[in-house]
Amino acid sequence: MADGRSRATRAARTRLSAGERELQILRAATKVFARSNYRVAGTADIALEAGIAEPTIYKYFPSKKALFIRILKRIGERILEIWQDAAAVDSGNSLSALRRMGRVYLENLGTHSDELKIQFQALAESDDPDITRQLRENHKAYVRFFAALIHRGQLQGVVRADVDPYSSGWFLNGFGFTLTLVQLLGFDQRIGKRQIKQMIDAYLDWLAVVGRGEQG
């Protein structure tokens, strides 16, 4: 019976498509890196977590570093997707979109703690130019997205014309770091998140054109 279950398990594994197998490895590696760190975790640990042979990993990723960088890229893409979906609901007003993005990001923090840990872990590997390059690309994409929303708000007449969209983009990106710290360091979530929401609201109120804001 046990041997039969083993054969069935192996058969099920072989039915995974290349895309499904890659995703399986990425998910397993995310868990392993999050509970350890990039330097300590090995591909043998990842293979064990995924329930596959270690050589299988190298069919999809040439090295542990390539796998780690792909995870960082995937994290950046997922964060942008969350923000894009949230902003699309209020596409007619950039300030409303930014406020909604903040709420959605707060709500999603608790469900992606492994990914948040990995982003912070990657900062410790900043001496590695390849890892740094991917982190830089992630944050450049975040800032570009924020800056584009700020600029659109200026064209809509709801955001002050005297602010620099790029600088504001970095300021809002900094809130993301603060939100992550609140989650990872175990601060009281109710109080911490409420205070951060007030900070975001205060900044967005400052950005608003007097008399327009989210009425425009």
pLDDT band at 89 (very low <50, low <70, confident <90, very high): confident
Q: What is the pLDDT of residue 73?
A: 96
Tokens (6 digits) for 155: 């064209």
119-137 confidence digits (pLDDT tens): 888 999 989 999 999 999 9
Q: What per-residue string of b and e applies to 47-56 under the rule 16 or more CB within 10 Å gives b?
A: bebbebeeee
Residue 57 has pLDDT above 70, yes or no: yes
> Tell me, what's the pLDDT at 15?
78
What are the DSSP calls for 8-53, one per residue? HHHHHHHT--HHHHHHHHHHHHHHHHHHS-TTT--HHHHHHHHTS-
pLDDT at residue 181, rounded to an integer? 79
32's tokens: 């392993």
Write down the pTM of the prediction.
Answer: 0.83
Give kind and range of the element (H or E) at residue 62: none
Among the listed residues 187, 177, 213, 216, the one whose alpha carbon sits nearest the alpha carbon of residue 99: 213
Per-residue pLDDT at 216: 39
pLDDT of residue 186: 75
Greater confidence (3 vs 117) lies with 117
Q: Please say whether the beta carbons of 105 and 82 come within 8 A.
A: yes
Average pLDDT over residues 29-35: 94
The pLDDT value recorded for residue 41 is 94
pLDDT of residue 177: 82
d(CA 212, CA 176): 26
Least confident residue range of 62-71, 142-151, 195-204: 195-204
| pLDDT of 212 | 53
Q: pLDDT at residue 147 above 80?
A: yes
Which tens digit of pLDDT belongs to each residue from 191-214? 666 777 788 889 899 999 875 545
Confidence of residue 188 (pLDDT cuts 50, 70, 90): low
